[in-house]
Amino acid sequence: MMALQKSVIVVGSINVDCTVSVSNLPKPGETVHGTDAFYLPGGKGGNQAVSVAAADTKAVMISAVGNDSYGKQALDSLKGYGVDTAGVLEKDGATGTAFIFVEGSGENLIVVTPGANSLVSANDAERLIKEFAKDAPPTVLAQLELPIETVEHAAKVTEEATGRFILNLAPAAEISTKMLAACDPIVVNEYEASFILGREIANTHEALVAAVDLAKRAKSVVITLGSQGAVYVDSSIGAGNEVRHVEAKKVEAVDTTGAGDAFVGAMTAALSRGSALGEAVEIGILAGTAAVLHFGAQPPRS
């Protein structure tokens, strides 16, 4: 029997990133000078789809852009990276925009306006997931830059199709216990994990404990720790949980924008190809580390 091609359906946002470099991020009420603005492709969904495609896995995007010039540029860019954009809808209005300020250390400050992303409906998600998952149970990756009800419905449709639903809880927001229970894994950073659990996570040990606690609510859990790597809990190993900290290689960051998205996309691609969660996390960390070595949320195309 011929093996079906592995693919990932990304239900997520497409933005244009307006990026400005500054010597230091501004404090409340402070004005700082920056470089000329660069307009680059972005959006957590688009970034993660690019990372999936970079991992030699088919990436199918379900999203929306506006009927403006930025929407066309965003689609052309995604296609250039090898992302299938057949599921991207064109809506009246503006394409989503992220305003990003990057300081010398590589740290950033981001404000997002959703634009067309806010118009992707639950019905859109259901119709397109079913269209792209005719031949096999789908691997669906989502974030929270689309309407919550759309993402919730995507999780429901994925479960009904006996697929695997992966959620990057970014930006942090309240979700239902039912959607949390469907996540395999839920991927969060320290702040997002703290948001769910209602307590601060200050170090790796506390992140491991938090991951174990979250695994009581989700099928599996990954907590990213920036330059410290990630921790995960995989409940599919034998009779108990596999709980582990995976360290990241130390590098000098140029721009941390999109590093988390690179991690999530590469990890999801590995899971879709049958990797265990631990191996997938290791692959994701390599991609996330490489992502901080270039400017912008998506890698430069040669």
Residues with a known catalytic role: 261
Strand, coil or helix: 198: coil
The helix (run of H) or strand (run of E) holding residue 22 is none
Per DSSP, 95 falls in state P
Is there a contact between 48 and 269 (Cβ–Cβ < 8 Å)?
no
Is there a contact between 61 and 35 (Cβ–Cβ < 8 Å)?
no
Backbone dihedral angles phi then psi of residue 139, each to the nearest 5 degrees: -100, 115
How far is residue 52's CA from residue 43's CA, in Å, rounded to a whole number?
A: 14
Burial of 222 (0-12, 13-18, 19+ CB in 10 A): buried
The residue whose two tokens read 């949320």 is 297
